[in-house]
Amino acid sequence: MSSLQAVHNIPEICAQLGITDVVLSPGSRCAPLTIAFARHPAIQVRTVPDERAAAFIGLGLAQTQRRAVALVCTSGTAGLNYAPAVAEAYFQQIPLVLFTADRPPEWIDQLDGQTIRQTDLYGAHAKGTFTFPADTAHTDAQWHATRIVSEAIGLAEQFPAGPVQVNIPLREPFYPKAGEELQFGPIKVTRELPSQAHLPAAVLDDLRAAIRSTNRVLVVGGQHPADPKLLLALRQFAAAYQVPVVGDLIANLHLPAAPDYDQRLRPLGHQDVFMAVPEPGLKEALKPELLITFGQSLISKALKLYLRNSRPAQHWHIQSAGAVADTFQSLTKVVRMEPTTFFASLTGKAHSTTDSTGASEALDPGLIPGATTAMGGLTSALPTPNHATAQDATRVAPRPAPTGPVRLTWASSGSQLSEAEATAKATYLKPWLAAENWATGFLQEFMQQPNQPFNEFTAIYRALQLLPDRTALHLANSMAVRYANILGLPAGRMVEIFANRGTSGIDGCTSTAVGSALAQPDRPVVLLTGDVAFFYDRNAFWHNYPTPNLRVILLNNHAGGIFRMIDGPRQQPELEEFFETRQMLRAENTARDFNLRYFPVSSFAELESALPVFFAPESGASLLEITTDSPTNAKFFEQYRAAVRTSFSQS
């Protein structure tokens, strides 16, 4: 038996435990791992030279496929370059298994080349770290080696998922002899089975009673993968208890659910707009008494600050396991259930949320009943503003007029409530729906104003209207994700949202989208990104794998435009030199280097002409560079903010 047989067993363990994709970066110390993975018949191996880009591409694969992906690198600083993606995976709860090759322990700190202290390399940003035995001649060491690889994969996928390091000390020789075949025989592995949390009937009865007896109940969803079962359970819950549901775009609650849910109770997504309205009466009307949350982070700073200031008497967070953040400083109860099971249980429609492997279902349009049915708008039972032509950019839409009680038509609407309870809840529900209705009309009117200067905010609005159905939309950090969260998507569109909001860094947004494109080659993948994030991560394209389904929309204002939009840096004389990251780069050379079809636009006419061709399937991997002026963008965005502040209060 080869002295490296225990190392050669690693791909077989991965394959048996469901890992099908490995991203590796070339090196000598990792050669035994590289060769073993490359020769295993059940593993798809991709080579990416830049370890930082490789790790984010692996993250994109895992994020899209919703199962663990393995990374392999050589010793020394190579593993340190994984660190940004490791941190993102940790906070976004994405399973990665990091196989870091290393020198044997006796050679650490002995001035040997490519040698650093790799044990527990990622510290608190990894779920765990394992050290592979340096010598595996003894049968106990072989058993130990197999066991820890199984444990590492199980830990990575166990909720809350995350990154796990397996550090592998290796001695020479690294390479098999000429003609030597690697053996991938049957290996005993340890499997993790998912747990199913269900609350006792008495506890569920208490939760139902609390929701029924509390007039002001609000549900807020944080970042969450698209989940058809959750979408339906949440809408049934909202209808049955007449509760408003709010979610940022990254919560993926905007997707269609089923043809028979009440259109007026679709989750609200324009909180970034109406939460900026400086009217105390509105803020008081929206104040919750019971806040129910699930998922991870929020984009909307306005909503986050509002909930911190409103301090509901009760705050329940729904999460099956793991540490829970007290984001709004009001947490009173942690409910250890899957969100889908929780909301379904409260309406008596609980069902399993996982498949036999314990992984949540990835979004497939075919999984959602009535997925092609348009969601429609808020109905005539709610105030419908009469939008006048906007001659003044600060005066767009009048304040919604008061209306009578909200009456719902879906068969199960109010099914958990008495008449008195339904009437009381309608009083709280109505201002939320009215605010969303106003924001929807306001945005449509404002963004379609004639004679606008060419600016990135409106350019994004127009691009989002034309996204192909079934798109996986990746939103880079900084202004791209904020713009998209403000604007939202056209109602009824099948567009799933991804964003690296675990750490909210710009360093791997492009690589993550590339990983997503590799994971689902038959699905359109669109990246909306800014220039600093794009040029920082150009090595995302430095590989040899085609991504004809990838489209990159680049907002190039030759600066870090966000700093002109936020108070603090924009008032400082050092703004341009020390905050904006001024650069004069254009993406044409990058597109040429990596064989991307290039669409440069600098006017609305060019944009309108380019978008249909850019999104066409036959265009292949493409880059649309939208060149704008940073001061013009800032001025137009300030006009938008002024309009929000003044239009709602117009009578």
Nearest to 207 by CA among 412, 416, 353: 416
On the question of pLDDT at 263 being above 70, the answer is: no
Residues shown for the chain: 651
pLDDT tens figures, 503-523? 999 999 999 999 999 999 999
CB atoms within 10 A of CB 641: 12
Q: Give the mean pLDDT of 197-212.
A: 92
Put simply, whether the predicted model's pTM sits higher than 0.85 gets the answer: yes
| Same fold yes or no, 4-169 and 201-347 | yes
Average pLDDT, the chain: 86
pLDDT of residue 568: 67
Domain boundaries, the chain: 4-169, 201-347, 449-648
- CATH homologous superfamily, domain 201-347: TPP-binding domain (3.40.50.1220)
pLDDT of residue 390: 34
Nearest to 393 by CA among 636, 648, 651, 650: 636
The answer to whether 416 and 347 have CB atoms below 8 angstroms apart is: yes
The confidence band for 110, taking pLDDT boundaries of 50, 70 and 90, is confident
Express as a percent the part of the chain with pLDDT over 70. Answer: 85
Cross-sheet strand order for the sheet of 21-24: 44-47, 21-24, 69-73, 96-102, 163-169, 128-131
pLDDT tens figures, 269-320? 999 999 999 888 999 999 999 999 999 999 999 999 999 999 999 999 999 9
pLDDT tens figures, 333-374? 999 999 999 999 999 876 544 443 334 444 443 333 333 222
Q: Which residue has the higher pLDDT, 253 or 385?
A: 253
Distance CA 604, CA 596 (A): 22
Among 3.40.50.970, 3.90.550.10, 3.30.460.10, 3.40.190.10, name the CATH number for the domain at 449-648: 3.40.50.970
pLDDT of residue 280: 87
Nearest to 535 by CA among 582, 474, 603: 582
- Architecture of the 4-169 domain: 3-Layer(aba) Sandwich (3.40)
pLDDT of residue 291: 98
259-273, 347-361, 480-494, 630-644: the lowest-pLDDT one: 347-361
The tokens for 4 are 């490296």
DSSP 58-74: HHHHHHHHTS-EEEEE-
On the question of pLDDT at 329 being above 60, the answer is: yes
pLDDT tens figures, 41-93? 999 999 999 999 999 999 999 999 999 999 999 999 999 999 999 999 999 99
How far, CA to CA in Å, does 519 sit from each of 64, 472, 526, 546, 596? 7, 11, 14, 12, 19
The answer to whether 302 and 566 have CB atoms below 8 angstroms apart is: no
